[in-house]
Amino acid sequence: MTTLSTHVLNTANGTPAQGLKLTLKRLEPRPKDLGIFITNSDGRVSETLLPEKEALLGFYEITFHAGDYLRDLGLTLPEYPFLDIVPIRFGISEDAHYHVPLLLSPYGFSTYRGS
């Protein structure tokens, strides 16, 4: 069974990114918006990100709304912040668990395939 999870950490202050909005889309083979989610106090999404019936092999995109999250923390960002919307496109090529974490600060991010 293919499953998907994410975890967002605010590396600027070393805490989970609570209240960060993200969206999930399937891009291929059949494009579909799969949901809008908000991270919990642990920086994770409590709901199922990818229901079993929607878990097809193909390309997906998680869009992290970093600019809104950083502004909600009270940070003063310029009119055109360095990071605003952070899209991560990835492929699901096997029936397995996929974990797409995001390490975030106002001026950088990284991701990897976690476990």
| Domain residue spans of the chain | 3-103
Q: What's the fold here for domain 3-103?
A: Immunoglobulin-like (2.60.40)
Q: Enter the pTM of the model.
A: 0.95
Tens of pLDDT along 15-49? 999 999 999 999 999 999 999 999 999 999 999 99
- In 3D space, the residue among 6, 1, 115 whose CA is nearest the CA of residue 55 turns out to be 1
Average pLDDT for 87-106? 97
Q: Record the tokens describing residue 113, joined without a space.
A: 């395939």
pLDDT band of 13, cuts 50, 70, 90:
very high
- Taking the C-alpha atoms of residue 105 and residue 71, their distance in angstroms, rounded to an integer, is 12
Residue 5 φ/ψ, nearest 5 degrees = -140, 165
Backbone φ, ψ for residue 16 (5° rounding): -65, 145
Beta bridge partners of 38: 21
